[in-house]
Structure 1
Amino acid sequence: MPAPVGGYPHVHGQSSPTDSGAPTLGAFTAGQLARLCDVAGLNASDTEVYARILPEMLGPVAERSLSLPPPSDSFLSDDHTPVEYSLAFQPGGPPALRVLLEPGADAADPVAGGRAGLRAVRAMARHWNFGTERLDELEDLFFPPSPQGAFALWCALELRPGGVPGVKVYLNPAASGPERAADTVREALRRLGHQEAFTALPPGDRHLFFALDLGDWAEPRVKVYLAHQDLSAVEAAGLSRVGGAGELGEIEDFFRAATGGDADAPDAWDGPGTRPGRRPVQSCHAFTETASGRASGFTLYVPVRDHARHDGEALERAVAVLRRQGVEAAPLLSAVAAVTTRRPEEGVGLIAYLALAHQRGRPPRVTVYISSESYAVRPPAVLLTA
């Protein structure tokens, strides 16, 4: 979970709480996004569109100065910035750029946050002429009168050439209480025609997210995210319901590389960057057809920031994972420079997650998740020695 607001000092590239000339959240993140668009090979026209969309989607919080603390304890990032970037890599082309954001991050309560999120998605639907019927079908499940949980709705934009993004929404299965999360996911899958999908899911410690592709997708997906605490590499690979023995071995290798091989060891961190416990590994199970109930995609997410002393180590692991997949690391290094001027060794959390995705009929994909760090930087962790 995110640390308390104000828990991390500001370092190079971040505004100071006493800096009267600090940019607004919208200006700061739009600048980061524009530079990332260049890394992803998007042209100037597309970059201008996407850099304008980001603050519009954030709403009034975009005009809030970074000299002020975060307006809420956003679960989306460690420093409560309601924005996260990711780059998806495959051999032979530029990375695909995505931005995840929380509309209504400054809402007074979860009800208002949910309404703000729905308004933002429906405004996009009108602007880009896509339907929200699948989301509408689930509104009573995920937006109850007295919602619970750390968030109501997140929205991800896949920034494509042409200025029209792919849109994804992430909903909270625990909105009616964590004890009802599994039933909520089961019912949501049933309503969308995936009657057999719930039984195809592996065991998990809790249901994290329920996600939908909206708009123009070749194969619109329904996705279920699960949390898994204290996994081994073999257990992590065993979560997949897609692919054969070769892919399972690839998942094991990825898991060991991303965690540095220490996932099975007890926590051994101390100092200002201490974590009370590592975040769980996440698995995502994508469903595209309703007849069989079989998952068509599997993604494993490793919270690399909880397995590294600093971002220098996390970046080395990301580079190694990319090279193992035959992907050049230069765009990732450029993306890091596009987001921050600090040295990787000065903090931990800039590289938040590493993910390996297998989609039936497609080559594997590596995704690197990059934090905005608009408000603060987590200090490096100290490794205890015997």
Structure 2
Amino acid sequence: MVELIPSDTMCGRLRVRRSDLVRPLTCAHLCPLVQGESMEAPALTPDTGVTAEMVGRSVRFESRRYQPTDSYADIACDKIRRGSEVLGASESEQRSRLALVRELFGAWGELPAGNPPERACWVAIDGMPFEVSFAWVDGRSELRLSFENPSHPGTPLARQEDGRAFTRSLADRPGVPIERYLAVEDLFTDGDPRGYFSFFHGVAWRQGGDPLHKIYLNPAVAGREHAAARTQEAMIRLGMERPWRALADHLGGVHGIAHEPVGLALDLSDAREARCKVYLAHTEVTADEVDARAAIARDHVPGSFARALERVTGHRESGWQKPPVTCWGFDFAQDVPSATLYVPLIPGHGDDAIAHDRVAAFMREENMDPAPYTAALHALSDGPPTESSTQNFLSYRGGPSPRFAVYLAPGTYRPA
């Protein structure tokens, strides 16, 4: 049983009985609203939904900056140090961040990057087990790191079990509660996990604040045809049924390739503003249709998502090599979610130079100085931008103070 308990310090807290966390999941546990809809899956083919990136492909190490003997943690720490310098972090802040990276990576972080796992990781588009991202809004900046235990040789089940164990270890850290995760764990684990990832985690360093820990879960762990039902059940357990139903009703149900649940993220925090985020991939839809679907969001500016897709990718019609994604943010204080657009960059653009020019031009149109973005890309680059392909997505939310974020692979793995 999951019970939402009022609290003076947060909008709600989850009480979870241990016996309920281990009960087997059956269709009867899933909300009937999406059971029938989620079975409408003839269009859920491998060429729809999120792309495999390097999963299923052999990769090799290639770098101008790093050596094959450098560990994953060595490379990640260098990226975080460079990113922190670009954003003006103090030396003490940098030392704290680098120490945290090594703590979070643990034993696998000391493995040599020159010996890739048999199954490439999905968290970064080059197959490495981590990705760095930068965000800018209202004159403030944020540096984030997402990571996935490579679990050599990297079977889906091993990564799932390593992810579960790591999540439980986070509970030993002050201010990192995992009750919300435990309330939905059975929905995002399986004896034979499917999909391109099982778990990955993240940490965000915010100006003037403590690091924020996050977890990312795969709603298609038991198959894409069950992703919608599992996502909805998770939202109900998390106490966010009302805003979720508002979104689902607006979309006419959340199923099929037009708006497919591909990820669920939780802030591991007791803070009032702690969020739950649902990621929907949009296959075979136009830029205008993506924009129309965002109309229910409390912070959406009509036309902004369509404009971003056109300016950055070069067209408004469907047919992107990687589908655009909308990220829906839920919290206890709001009856409808917020929305952020993820614009695909690579492989739609052939290299980082082309992607950069498109993104920088759009940022200028939005009255945002692209210089910090350019500096971040340059600082983390592992070679000339005309020879690298590290930019996964540009995330964007419009309005008087637009928000931008860019997601960068390390650039040290290439197809073998």
TM-score, length-scaled by structure 2: 0.77
Distance 2:174 2:104 in 1: 14
1:88 to 121, 126, 135: 135
CA contact (8 A) 2:344 2:394 kept: yes
1:55 — aligned with what? Answer: 102
Q: What is the identity, as a one-letter code, of the residue corresponding to 1:132?
A: I
1:346 — aligned with what? Answer: 387
CA contact (8 A) 2:286 2:318 kept: no
1:324 — aligned with what? Answer: 365
What is the Cα deviation at residue 136 of structure 1?
Answer: 0.8
Q: What is the identity, as a one-letter code, of the residue corresponding to 2:236?
A: R
Moved more, 24-33 or 68-77: 68-77
1:228 to 262, 278, 282: 282
State yes or no: 1:253 paired with 2:307.
Answer: yes
2:65 to 10, 13, 19: 13
2:347 — aligned with what? Answer: 306
Distance 1:91 1:226 in 2: 26
Shift in CA distance, 167/318, structure 1 to aligned 2, threshold 3 Å: same
Shift in CA distance, 265/251, structure 1 to aligned 2, threshold 3 Å: closer
Shift in CA distance, 233/149, structure 1 to aligned 2, threshold 3 Å: closer
CA contact (8 A) 1:91 1:326 kept: no
Distance 2:282 2:207 in 1: 36
1:75 — aligned with what? Answer: 122
Distance 1:107 1:60 in 2: 15
2:192 — aligned with what? Answer: 146
CA contact (8 A) 2:125 2:392 kept: no
1:357 to 373, 397, 402: 397
Distance 2:377 2:84 in 1: 13
Q: What is the identity, as a one-letter code, of the residue corresponding to 1:58?
A: F
Distance 2:369 2:66 in 1: 29
Distance 1:328 1:108 in 2: 41
Distance 1:226 1:115 in 2: 25
Distance 1:120 1:163 in 2: 23
Distance 1:61 1:373 in 2: 19
State yes or no: 1:286 paired with 2:329.
Answer: yes
Total equivalences in the alignment: 355
Query: Aligned with 2:397: secondary structure?
Result: strand
Q: What is the identity, as a one-letter code, of the residue corresponding to 1:365?
A: R
Distance 1:187 1:345 in 2: 45
- Structure 1: give runs of 5+ residues left out of the alignment: 267-276, 379-386
Q: What is the identity, as a one-letter code, of the residue corresponding to 2:385?
A: P
1:129-164 CA-to-partner distances (Å, cap 9, x unmatched) read 332111111111112333322222111211124673
Q: What is the identity, as a one-letter code, of the residue corresponding to 1:226?
A: L
1:371 — aligned with what? Answer: 409
Q: What is the identity, as a one-letter code, of the residue corresponding to 1:2?
A: E
Shift in CA distance, 217/231, structure 1 to aligned 2, threshold 3 Å: farther
CA contact (8 A) 2:284 2:318 kept: no
What is the Cα deviation at residue 243 of structure 1?
Answer: 4.5
Distance 2:318 2:190 in 1: 40
State yes or no: 1:264 paired with 2:317.
Answer: yes
**Pairing 1:112-261 to 2, within 5 Å after superposition:** 112-161=158-207, 164-196=210-242, 197-198=244-245, 200-201=247-248, 202=251, 203=254, 205=257, 206-215=260-269, 217-240=271-294, 241-243=296-298, 247-261=301-315
Distance 2:212 2:341 in 1: 21
Moved more, 141-150 or 3-12: 3-12
Q: Percent identity of the aligned residues?
A: 27
Distance 2:154 2:63 in 1: 30
Shift in CA distance, 113/107, structure 1 to aligned 2, threshold 3 Å: farther
**Pairing 1:1-40 to 2, within 5 Å after superposition:** 1-3=52-54, 5-6=57-58, 10=62, 12-13=64-65, 15=67, 22-40=69-87
1:325-384 CA-to-partner distances (Å, cap 9, x unmatched) read 322222222212221241111132x2211111369xx94311111111132389xxxxxx
